[in-house]
A and B are shown apart, each in its own frame.
Chain A
Amino acid sequence: SFELTQPPSVSVSPGQTARITCSGDKLGDRNVCWYQQKAGQPPVLIIYQNTKRPSGIPERVSGSNSGNTATLTISGAQAMDEAEYYCQAWDSSTTNYVFGTGTKVTVL
């Protein structure tokens, strides 16, 4: 079955760049999106169609997708970026939506 794998955790210093990877078979051939989830809150869409940002999401948040890996990049990390991040794609063979395993980002 189609699976998406993320590192469990990423640490970044304030002002530095955090990169979160999402790996899956031929992921570059699919549309990938990313969600941010803070404790006790529902997920929020921050990247869709690999690289696009919904309104209200700052430009320092960006996405890319190629080969077997999609990457979420957060530039100039701030304390407000501390959250869990999930990638997600659609598996056309099963018509199922698939979430990544999630990555906890810590800014310290």
Chain B
Amino acid sequence: EVQLVESGGGFVQRGGSLRLSCAASGFSFSSYPMTWVRQAPGKGLEWVASITDGASVVSYADSVRGRFTISRDHKNSLYLQMNSLRADDTAVYYCARVRAVASYFDYWGQGTLVTVSS
């Protein structure tokens, strides 16, 4: 069974940093691209960043480029380093598995809440 479990969320002051983790199990993690998607309270889904299976290519939304860094290890973990956090980064952050050929996300974690105080 595919499982994705996010951790690392919490309360942080504006300008601070936080590192999110996503532990994957039930599939060959190194064979799949991965992504982070966020959802501000009461708002829609927003794609944040993606990384290829070999970690050679990363992509970012304009809203986080230069402040966030997506990475992965060779075992089973995905990361999102978030720096220079702003109030509008407050959201639930989901990790998801990417099916690149048809560009969709087939499995999602439960999410971890990041709250940035202003």
Q: Which residues of A contact B (CB under 8 A)?
A: 30-31, 33, 35, 37, 42-45, 48-49, 54, 84, 86, 88-90, 95-102
Q: Which residues of B contact A (CB under 8 A)?
A: 35, 37, 44-47, 50, 59, 61, 94, 99, 102-111
Cα(A84)–Cα(B43), bound, Å: 11
CB distance from A106 to the nearest CB of B (A): 17
Contacts of A84 in B (CB 8 A): 44
Q: Determine the main DSSP class of B at the interface with A.
A: strand
Cα(A86)–Cα(B110), bound, Å: 17
Q: B45 touching A43 by the CB < 8 A rule?
A: yes
Q: Which residue of chain B has the shortest Cβ distance to A98 in the bound complex?
A: B47
Q: A33 touching B102 by the CB < 8 A rule?
A: yes
Identify 9 new A-B residue pairs, CB closer than 8 A, beyond the known A42-B94, A45-B107, A96-B47. A30-B103, A33-B105, A42-B109, A45-B104, A48-B102, A84-B44, A96-B61, A99-B47, A102-B44
CB distance from B45 to the nearest CB of A (A): 4
Q: B44 touching A31 by the CB < 8 A rule?
A: no
Most chain A beta carbons < 10 A, residue from B35, B105, B107: B105
Q: B47 touching A97 by the CB < 8 A rule?
A: yes
Contacts of B99 in A (CB 8 A): 48
Cα(A95)–Cα(B106), bound, Å: 18
Cα(A33)–Cα(B96), bound, Å: 14
Cα(A96)–Cα(B59), bound, Å: 7
